[in-house]
Structure 1
Amino acid sequence: MKTGQQKMDWARQYMPVLGSIRKEFEETKPLAGVTIGMALHVEAKTAVLVETLAAGGAEVYITGCNPLSTQDDVASALGKVPGVHCYAKRACSNDEYYAAINRVLDARPSITIDDGMDLIHELHTHRQDVLKDVVGGCEETTTGIHRLRSMAAEGALKFPVVAVNDTPMKRHFDNVHGTGESSLTAIMATTNALIAGKVLVVAGFGYCGRGVARKARGMGTRVVVTEVDPRRALEAHMEGFDVMPMDEAAKVGEIFITTTGNTSVVTAQHFPLLRDGAILSNAGHFNVEIDVAWLEEHADAVERRDGIDTYVLAEKKVHVLAQGRLVNLATPKGMGHPIEVMDLSFALQALSALYMVEHGKDLAPGVYDVPNAIDEEVATRKLAALGIAIDALTEEQKTYLSAWDIGT
């Protein structure tokens, strides 16, 4: 517990935006009487968010959203915070994982906060007895938003959810800078391999993929991008990256990072094409992008150590990091996104949760954008913390921007 508390103390000092929100929450208690159920990566930055919600008066029940991303010392320390109940455990079985989610749902939360939508999925499929208590929810990541939009399109989603992932203050900082830096850091810390000069293949050029690609290029790698979207592929080309299908990239890549949020990106058809010693990693939420199950079944030998599973295929070694799970969190040395990045994302979560407390009952079931006022507020608080001042529109400029009859 001591080390967990130390990690939380360290993170807190680099999270001024969330700190300013916590100070206001402590004074006004806007979440008094609210029960919040959470399934997130339980590590130090998440703990600071949980402390903030509890400081606002909420009773918080939390578990993990990935079997390998919990830091047990942080989970232990978090469970000692007044008003917080933590059920997360690292390296839990599938049954233990869902048992913990159900313990959160046993608290009958009125607000849900998810990363990947497993909590909401369980709520809608096996715990519909709790649905009537839920006012609204928040979703943190791309994969979860995809699933929620599918539910909403089919009329299956039974309450409103804020798509925290889709707002500019999340995409441009968490997805780009957070995923970019933390994924590469985890790969280097886990393998101790030099990445400068190597060919690094990034699957997907969305916000996460472009963050990885840009950061990797800055560190001296030769970046190859694979895509299925012609517009994103063209964007990657215009930024100077090599673009090719995975069938071709598999032959030249030395390090691979999947960021698509989709299934079956590196599969049985690609494994025989890989170079000896290829390193495979995933930065998408679920462990479906690399077909690890095929390797488990067909590899001649497997060696497991410190977040690396080595498979031998036709005398070639293929190294898979973190069992194909989130490389920046699921490796033993993975610390997740940088603290300052998560300060912004979790500030969005805290304010979006408050928004749902205040407005959720007035919203129909569906997926909603983060209100622009909240997005701008987080940016404004961050600039203030950095001591940066910016201009403001004059009345003349506001009039010009809103008028249609002003010509040349």
Structure 2
Amino acid sequence: MEYLVKDISLAEQGKNQLEWAEMHMPTLMRIRAELEEKKPLRGITVAAVLHVTKETGVLVRTLKRAGADVFLAASNPLSTQDDVAAALAKYDEINVFAWRGETEAEYYSNMEKIIKHSPQIVMDDGGDLHALLHDKNLTDTVIGGTEETTTGVVRLKAMEEQGVLKYPVIAVNNAYTKYLFDNRFGTGQSAIDGILRATNVLLAGKICVVVGYGWVGRGIASRLRGAGARVIVVEANALRALEAVMEGYEVLPMRKAAEMGDIFITATGNINVISKEHILKMKNGAILANAGHFNVEIDVEGLKQVSRSRRVIRPYTEEYELINGKKVYLLAEGRLVNLAAAEGHPSEVMDLSFSNQALSVVYIVQNRGQMTPKVFDVPREIDERVAELKLESMGIEKEELTQQQREYMRQWRYGT
């Protein structure tokens, strides 16, 4: 076993964190019990680039007990929980290469360490691992992979369309039990958690600008409104912009919203959606945060160019004095605010996402050689099973169709 973590002495603390997460992830624990008995991943090497959090720890522990040999690196330089990384290495024999505060060179070096072991399954969050394997032409041993987030799915779809994707990938992000819950409820809560931990500002009465109205943006906007904020949505897609209007939000282009907002949160998956030109228009004291996967949504280099000084004024809060005399505050270096300044999604919502991950990995192994190199959605039976198990764990009983009702839904002759 190999590992490279910040401080192995943190392992006991990390073990407690993992136990807490397991208590709040009953669906995945139910799946773990089944997989541990059957060992469907025996002999399989898994390379995973995921946020190294307590919830991810529960997932990789599950894969290990299903028989896999697991190599884990971080999908963001600031998202690793060092105590969890230490616990996984010490108590679970997970090959972990991750610590909080990695440089860009260390980030890619750790990824290269895990791909040296000829993985058969590749799990990714953001697409960097998939891209690295293809760039280095190291895909020969790969049976297939999974992708956790919207940004990564977009990249993989581009690879598929350009004919360069070498193995099948299941887009876990596209599962109903992922995007409707993780993206909306998970990021909706955890992004605001990160902003509040970094700033401790009052949300009530603030003008908050949410840039992007996908499932992440929807969740953030909803929770901001629930906290008493006045919410403006910036959206380039006409359908989503219309939906935001019908939900009661004000919809504006960024050039106008820039002058009005107190807090800005990006959630687009695109580059420079807040530019230096926008920043120069902002109010004195404006707060900038990013909830998208990569640190490209806010033009941080542009911000530096139009600033005459900067300093860290609070943990994860950097004050920039602009050339026009105003001050703006960038949170978590423009990286994922929910993971850099807080703990990421609550365990209860990751229970759904990572149950999909575990079952998708097993599905790929069981269907090796039968899936072509393309991006697949999570099989419907997996999605529905995860939902069923989650309801059971919550003690909720849903309605069941009668035989007459099932037959009615399969016929076409009878209407009124």
**TM bucket by the smaller chain?**
over 0.9
Q: Deviations over 1:121-150 (max 9, x none)?
A: 000002x1x311000000000000000000
| 1:401 shift after superposition | 1.4
1:202 aligns with 2:210: yes
Return the letter of the residue paired with 2:231. Answer: V
Match of 2:348 in 1: 340
1:312 aligns with 2:321: yes
Return the letter of the residue paired with 1:108. Answer: S
Deviates more, 1:389-398 or 1:55-64: 389-398
Residue pairs, 1:218-257, within 5 angstroms? 218-257=226-265
Q: Deviations over 1:206-260 (max 9, x none)?
A: 1000000001101100000000011111100111111110111111100010000
Residue aligned with 1:319, SS: strand
Q: Is the 8 A contact 2:194 2:340 kept in 1?
A: no
User: Aligned in 2, Cα 1:73/1:83: closer, same or farther, shift over 3 Å?
Assistant: closer
Q: Distance in 1 between matches of 2:268 and 2:92?
A: 39
Q: Is the 8 A contact 2:274 2:299 kept in 1?
A: yes
Q: Distance in 2 between matches of 1:176 and 1:81?
A: 33
Residue aligned with 2:146, SS: strand
Q: Is the 8 A contact 2:276 2:306 kept in 1?
A: no
Q: Distance in 2 between matches of 1:204 and 1:352?
A: 29
Match of 1:94 in 2: 104
Return the letter of the residue paired with 1:3. Answer: Q
Q: Structure 1: which 4+ aligned runs deviate by more than 3 Å? A: none
Q: Distance in 1 between matches of 2:287 and 2:383?
A: 37
Match of 2:8 in 1: none
Return the letter of the residue paired with 2:257. Answer: A
Match of 2:36 in 1: 26
Q: Distance in 2 between matches of 1:81 and 1:46?
A: 15
- Normalising by the residue count of structure 2, what TM-score does the alignment of the two structures yield? 0.96
1:66 aligns with 2:49: no
Match for residue 48 of structure 2 among 18, 21, 38? 38
Match of 2:414 in 1: 406
Match for residue 268 of structure 1 among 260, 264, 276? 276
| 1:83 shift after superposition | 4.2
Q: Distance in 1 between matches of 2:53 and 2:92?
A: 18
Q: Which runs of 5+ in 1 are unaligned?
A: none
Residue aligned with 1:100, SS: helix
| 1:297 shift after superposition | 2.5
Q: Distance in 2 between matches of 1:402 and 1:76?
A: 54
Return the letter of the residue paired with 1:148. Answer: L
Residue aligned with 1:42, SS: coil
Q: Distance in 2 between matches of 1:94 and 1:386?
A: 41
Residue aligned with 2:368, SS: helix
Identical counterparts, % of pairs: 49
Match for residue 360 of structure 2 among 352, 362, 368? 352
Q: Distance in 2 between matches of 1:234 and 1:407?
A: 34
Q: Is the 8 A contact 1:277 1:318 kept in 2?
A: yes
Q: Is the 8 A contact 1:180 1:212 kept in 2?
A: yes
Q: Is the 8 A contact 1:22 1:55 kept in 2?
A: yes
Q: Is the 8 A contact 1:58 1:83 kept in 2?
A: no
Q: Distance in 1 between matches of 2:92 and 2:188?
A: 35
Q: Distance in 2 between matches of 1:87 and 1:349?
A: 20
Q: Is the 8 A contact 2:254 2:278 kept in 1?
A: yes
Q: Distance in 1 between matches of 2:92 and 2:183?
A: 32
Q: Distance in 1 between matches of 2:261 and 2:267?
A: 15
Q: Distance in 1 between matches of 2:88 and 2:213?
A: 36
Q: Which runs of 5+ in 2 are unaligned?
A: 1-10
Deviates more, 1:16-25 or 1:139-148: 16-25
| 1:172 shift after superposition | 0.8
Match for residue 379 of structure 2 among 371, 374, 377? 371
| 1:21 shift after superposition | 0.8
Match of 1:53 in 2: 63
| 1:72 shift after superposition | 1.3
| 1:107 shift after superposition | 1.1
Q: Is the 8 A contact 1:51 1:81 kept in 2?
A: no
Q: How many residues align?
A: 404
Q: Distance in 1 between matches of 2:251 and 2:92?
A: 52
| 1:390 shift after superposition | 1.1
Return the letter of the residue paired with 1:163. Answer: A
1:182 aligns with 2:203: no
Q: Is the 8 A contact 1:166 1:369 kept in 2?
A: yes
RMSD: 0.9
Match for residue 153 of structure 1 among 147, 156, 161? 161
